[in-house]
């Protein structure tokens, strides 16, 4: 197949599937499963058509694209964590209030890395179930160390019902400081477990 035709097909598939496919950066999973998503296909095409050195061919992503991809993953991981019982009640407020604050936190992460290093950052496998606070982490794939951890905690202030407190922790202080993203009111009744 001529190179120009192959590149045209890649561009067309990319445009047609934009927003439908969540990027997967876990190359270990790619080895386990034979099917590939569009991002794996594009990465393969880049490797096949590139004359860059091995070190430069690790991957390159702009800060804006990195933030967009992480935000898509953040929303998907969050909605998975909420499950079918919590999601319908809080999804609108989450999208309007919490998600923009998550985006700012991800932008702060992106600002700390040169663009050629952003391709090493990936979203963790999945949210925590039950009473776990974990929504998702962004980790350095090369070192396997978390960079930032996004959590949601169930709070019950006296006589105020239940609230979901969204926050994050960073590696800068060994994940000790609590950085607030906002809170969403649930109800006076106890909320169901996550992912239920």
- Written as six digits, the tokens of 115 are 């663009």
Task: Specify the pLDDT at position 126.
Answer: 85
Phi then psi for residue 101, to 5 deg, are -75, -35
Rounded CA-CA distance 186/89 in Å is 8
Instruction: Select from 40, 102, 39, 104 the least CA-distant residue to 75.
Output: 102
Are both 7 and 86 inside the same structural domain? no
DSSP secondary structure letters along 21-83 = S-----HHHHHH-S---HHHHHHHHHHHH----TTGGG----HHHHHHHHHHHHHHHHHHHHH
Rounded CA-CA distance 148/170 in Å is 4
For the entire predicted model, the pTM comes to 0.69
What range does the domain containing 109 cover?
A: 67-187
Are both 52 and 98 inside the same structural domain? no
> Reading across the β-sheet that carries 162-170, which strands appear in turn?
121-123, 134-140, 145-155, 162-170, 179-187
Rounded CA-CA distance 27/195 in Å is 26
Are both 97 and 140 inside the same structural domain? yes
Instruction: Select from 132, 127, 148 the least CA-distant residue to 78.
Output: 127
Rounded CA-CA distance 94/91 in Å is 5
Rounded CA-CA distance 150/4 in Å is 42
The number of folded domains in the chain is 2
Are both 10 and 77 inside the same structural domain? no
Helices 3-17, 38-49: axis angle to 10 degrees equals: 160
Are both 93 and 50 inside the same structural domain? no
In a domain, 192, yes or no: no
Rounded CA-CA distance 153/149 in Å is 13
Q: What is the mean pLDDT of each run of 10 residues along the chain (196 residues)?
A: 52 54 44 43 47 47 93 95 96 97 96 90 89 95 94 93 96 94 95 94
In a domain, 29, yes or no: yes
Are both 48 and 82 inside the same structural domain? no
């Amino acid at each position: 197949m001529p190179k120009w035709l192959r590149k045209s097909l890649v561009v067309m598939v990319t445009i047609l599937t934009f927003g439908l496919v969540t990027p997967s950066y876990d190359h270990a999973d790619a080895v386990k499963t034979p099917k590939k998503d569009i991002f794996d296909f594009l990465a393969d095409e880049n490797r096949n058509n590139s004359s860059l050195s091995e070190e430069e061919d690790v991957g390159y992503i702009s800060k804006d694209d990195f933030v967009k991809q992480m935000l898509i993953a953040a929303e998907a991981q969050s909605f998975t964590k909420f499950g079918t019982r919590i999601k319908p009640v809080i999804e609108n407020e989450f999208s309007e209030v919490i998600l923009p604050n998550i985006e700012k936190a991800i932008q702060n992460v992106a600002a700390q890395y040169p663009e050629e290093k952003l391709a090493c950052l990936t979203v963790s496998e999945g949210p925590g179930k039950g009473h776990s606070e974990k929504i998702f982490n962004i980790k350095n794939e090369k070192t396997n160390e978390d960079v930032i951890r996004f959590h949601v905690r169930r709070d019950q202030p006296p006589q105020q019902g239940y609230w979901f407190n969204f926050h994050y922790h960073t590696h800068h202080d060994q994940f000790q400081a609590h950085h607030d993203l906002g809170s969403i009111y649930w109800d006076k009744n106890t909320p169901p477990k996550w992912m239920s």
